Every structure is written in C-alpha cells, then in structure tokens.
Amino acid sequence: MSTLADRLRKALAEATPPRTQAELARACGLKGPSVSNWVTGTTQTLKAESAILAADFLGVRPRWLIEGVGPMRHAAPASTSPPADPTLEQALAVVLGRLPGLDGYTADKVLGAMRAAIEVKAPLEHVERDLLQWLQEPRPASSGKRQNAA
C-alpha cells in the first residue's frame, strides 16, 4: 500500500465487522467529509489523535496506517490476557496531537527523536542535541501547519 488513502480503503474493506466511512468519522469525532477526504486522497496526512483513533477503530496498527510500515494488524494474542497498554509511541503521538499550537512539522520532529531514542537506543544527550538542532533549522517552505489534516 503506497498511500494513506490506499491503506484506509483496505482497512475499511477488511474490517471485522465491516466498517463505513460514516462510522469511522463518528469514531474519530469528525464529520463525514473529513474522512471522505482521507479515503479519496485529498488529505494525505492525519493528526496524531485522528490516526490513533482510526487505527483503533479499524483494528490496524497505527504505524501501518500512518506510514505503511510493518504488518497491517497486531499479531493475535496467544492467551486470553487483557489487551496491552498503548505503546510509548502511540501515547506520545496522542499527546503531541493535543498540544495547542504545535504544528505538524514540530510534532513530527519530536516523534522522530523519540523513535530514535527507543528504536536505536540512542543516548538521550544525542537525541536532545539532534532535536534542538532540527528545531533550529529553517523549515522547508511547505512545512507550516498541515493543510487538510484531520
């Protein structure tokens, strides 16, 4: 799946029970046209909170939905133990999505730095140094607040 729209259409089509765009919009606390824009490709990015809510509703992994990385679904649990707590990445994405005034560019940089700390096990001093450096660099012309991000 190459685009967010492709992944959303696949997740909607394969959801159990079957899901509609209207149900997805309600689950994310949005209006139908926002989800329609996701599915048609008019909107190419999602706010972190919307992505987490959509992934949860559709039963897919948030990283697969957002980036197309990894398996579509979580592995089936081997036991009847209670569901796992959200990952640090999921929790951080939700928190960053709720911070007022935090634009998508900055949120992506912070999330990327946290991923580096977790996945690469980079020393925190290096993560902090890199994050401060990234945030001081001039932003690309198109990196202002995301347009059409729902």
Is 76 domain-assigned?
Answer: no
Do residue 50 and residue 15 come from a single domain? yes
Rounded distance between C-alpha atoms, residue 21 and residue 32, angstroms? 7
Average pLDDT in the 85-92 region?
66
- pLDDT tens profile 90-130: 666 666 666 666 666 677 777 777 776 666 666 777 777 77
Q: Quote the domain boundaries for residue 28.
A: 4-67
Indicate whether 80 belongs to any domain: no
Residue 77 lies in a domain: no
Q: Indicate whether 30 belongs to any domain.
A: yes
Whether residues 93 and 126 share a domain: the answer is yes
At 61, which CATH number?
A: 1.10.260.40
For CA atoms 106, 112, 118, 122, the dihedral sign is negative
Position 104 in a domain = yes
Q: Is the pLDDT of residue 142 over 60?
A: no
